[in-house]
Each structure stands twice: as C-alpha cells, then as structure tokens.
Copies of this chain bind each other. A is one copy, B any other.
Amino acid sequence: MGYKPSYAKTVKRTGPRDIALTEYSSSILSMIASGRARSRADLARTLNLAPSTITIKVNELMEAGLISESGSGSATGGRRPMLLELVPDAGFILAADLGAHHLWVGRLNLSGNLLASEIRAIDINDGPGVVLPQAAAMMRALTDPAVDPPLRGVGMSLPGPVNFAQGALDSPSRMRGWHEFKVRNWLAEEFGTLAVVDNDANMMALGEHTLRQRESPDSKVRQNTLFLKAGAAIGCGLIIDGQAYRGATGAAGDIAHVQIPAAGDAPCSCGNRGCLETVASGSAIIRDLAAVGIDAADVNDVVLQVNNGDPHTTTRVRTAGRILGQTLSIVVNFVNPDVVVLGGGLSQLEPYVAAVRSQLYESCHPLATKNIVIEASLAGSQAGLLGAGQLCLRTVLAS
C-alpha cells in the first residue's frame, strides 16, 4: 500500500447521510459545537477561510443534516448573521464526573447542552472494577436504544493526575486500584465508541471556558483561562488559546502540592509534608474545624455553616482563601491569564472568593492584574460534566 499521507484532508463520516466531508468540515463542526463561532462570517474569521468556502461547506453540512440555521443574531452595523447550530439529535454524548465520593453522569446533545443527569454516592476506593460498571450502568439508564439517535462518544472526568495519552491515571493518591488502569480504553470498549478521559480540573476548566465563550461570544480575545478547583482537594486547569494545556507529561496545572510555610510540616495525602492542600483545601478546613469541636462532614457542610453566619468557620475559610491566593499569585504572575475562575465547592462562598481575589491583587505584579477578571465559576457544580462532554464533543467532531 505504501503511501499513507499524514496530511490527508478528505475523511469519510457516518451520519444521517453518508457523505464525504473535507478537513474543514470537522473544524466547522468543532467551532460551532464549542461556541467559538456562531455564524458563517464567524467561521470565516476563526478558521481563516474565504467566506465563499464557508458557504459551500456549510451547505454541505446542512444537506448532510448535521447543522441547521437557528434564527439570526444581532446586527453590529450591518446585515445580521444567520446563527448556526448542530442538529441536536444527529447524535448524543454521555459524560461522567467522577469524584472521591460521588459519581455524576449526564447526557448531552451535540450542541454540548446537558439534557439529563443523575448523581450517586460512591467510594472511589472500591476501584475501577466496581466503580466503572456502576458508571456505565448509570449512563445507560439515560439512554433508550429504541428511540435514541446514535451515541457519538463518552467523556469522563477523573479526580487525579491523568496521563492523557494513555487515558489512565498516574499514581493518584487516595484512589486505590486506579493506577495505570486504562479508563479510556475500558469506556471505549464498553460503549463501542470513542472515549476521552482527563483530570477533573482540566475538564472543569474547559467546561467553564466554553460556557463563558457562549455567554459573551463578542469578547473572543479572552482565550487564556486559569481555572482553580477548590473543593475537598485543590486542582488547577489551564486553557491556552482556547484549548486545554497539558504540558509534556500531562501533569500541567499541579498546584496543590506546593510546599508553603503556613503549612508547617502537616502530612499530606501525596506523601510529602507542608503542601498547600493541607491548609487551603476543603479537607483541611474540615479537619481544623473538627479540632475545635465544629462538625462538618463535607465541603457542603462548610458552605452551609458559612452561609448561616458561623464566625469561626467563616474566618477559617477566609484564611484558606488568603493562603491560596498567595500561592496562586505565583502562577498568575507566571502564566498571566486573561481570566481566573474559581470553581469547586468553596467557590460558592463569597468570603473565600473575596479573599483569593484581594490576595491576588496584592501579591501579583500590576502588569499581570491589569485587565484580569477574577470570578467564581459560572458553570458551578456542572463544570466537570459540561467539560467532559465538551472535550468528547470536540474530539468526536474533529475525528
């Protein structure tokens, strides 16, 4: 056979009608799905293609039943654009957000909208042999083979360091039995479809970023987002140029296990001592509250107590925010993002967000905070599920 061009540009695609689509067709689908472009003119700008080319491609995709027009947008001094969307029932995506103690699954249409979801308490330490079949069953419960459009892919968010290329966790702490278990392959075989897995912070970052892009498609310049997940644990996801940045070995975004002076030599789940996570995370707060006789089972309890005005808890949360802000400022200085988003359970607390924000403004170089936006997550607890769906969607549409 010999000649296998890596620059191949023509791909076959199965869909409502089998039709040959060119390279750019999948980019177009990706752009529409992720909200990076909403009209033909948008597409021409974003993909750097001639408007005439876009017309042809869009017509092909519409004839193939993959996209459709969905009314017109608002004018900006000229003719108003025709908005485009993926035909919602040309297929669907299943997504799962796996935490230490919860399993949240959802179903999304090809526009990346969450249509249904289900949550259940689990113990991650039961290992993949128990947890993954549970997840699969819950996801299947959201489908009905008799009437469903085709399943296009499955995405899963995992609460530990993920080797993205392998589709597996790499030495996660507090996740017995998961080390190097090929989660992605398992999902792909189980559902007989494309699957993607990534670290929860990355997924949440992507989910949040996509949501923000859709909310304000005008401000297309804000493409560098730093997402900090502060729940029971601390994690960080980075979006550079609209895409998840994973670094050389997929470890990028680690910030929880930085040694900080305020932590003294408190032992950390990672095996080291004095990590940020032993002071600024939800677990650390809960531990410290227990020491003074205040009972909180999980981060939600902490949130409740602060909302009820408990002064001790509020002070502790504020301290955690300030310390996190100090460490985060190093990273913000270095990465110089457009947006810093605070997610995870603690981000629901205004005192926490305020503490992080003010500490960032104090500790960062003025140039780094010049036009920065520091806000709590818009996606909230859905961020992980949305991100897992979004990453899956992008992968599906790009393949």
Binary interface encoding of chain A residues 237-268 relative to chain B, with 1 for a CB under 8 A from any of its CBs, else 0: 01010000111111111110111010000000
Contact A249 B367 (CB under 8 A): yes
The verdict on A398 contacting chain B, using a C-beta distance below 8 Å, is: no
- Determine if A62 is an interface residue (Cβ-Cβ < 8 Å): no
Q: Which of A117-125, A137-145, A211-219, A327-335 contacts B (4 or more CB under 8 A)?
A: A327-335
Task: Knowing A331-B330, A334-B335 are in contact, say whether A366-B247 is a contact too (CB < 8 A).
Answer: no
User: What B residues does A21 contact at CB under 8 A?
Assistant: none
Q: Answer whether residue A372 sits at the interface, using C-beta atoms and an 8 A cutoff.
A: yes
Q: Which residue of chain B is the closest to A44 with respect to CB atoms?
A: B7
Asked if A367 and B333 make an inter-chain contact with CB atoms under 8 angstroms apart, the answer reads: no
Given A254-B333, A259-B326, A161 and B248 contact (CB-CB distance below 8 Å): no
Task: Report A276-335 residues with CB < 8 Å from chain B CB.
Answer: 326-327, 329-331, 333-335
A250's partner among B50, B333, B367 (CB-CB below 8 A) is B367
The reply to whether A224 and B247 form a contact with Cβ atoms under 8 Å apart is: yes
B residues in contact with A236, CB < 8 Å: 334
The answer on a CB contact under 8 Å between A257 and B365 is yes
> Which of B50, B163, B270, B336 meets A249, CB within 8 Å?
B336
Chain B residues with Cβ under 8 A from A331's Cβ? 330-331, 334
| Across-interface contacts of A85 in B (CB, < 8 A) | none
**Chain A residues proximal to chain B, CB less than 8 Å:** 5-7, 44-45, 48-50, 161, 163, 170-171, 224, 236, 238, 240, 245-255, 257-259, 261, 270, 326-327, 329-331, 333-338, 363, 365-368, 370-372
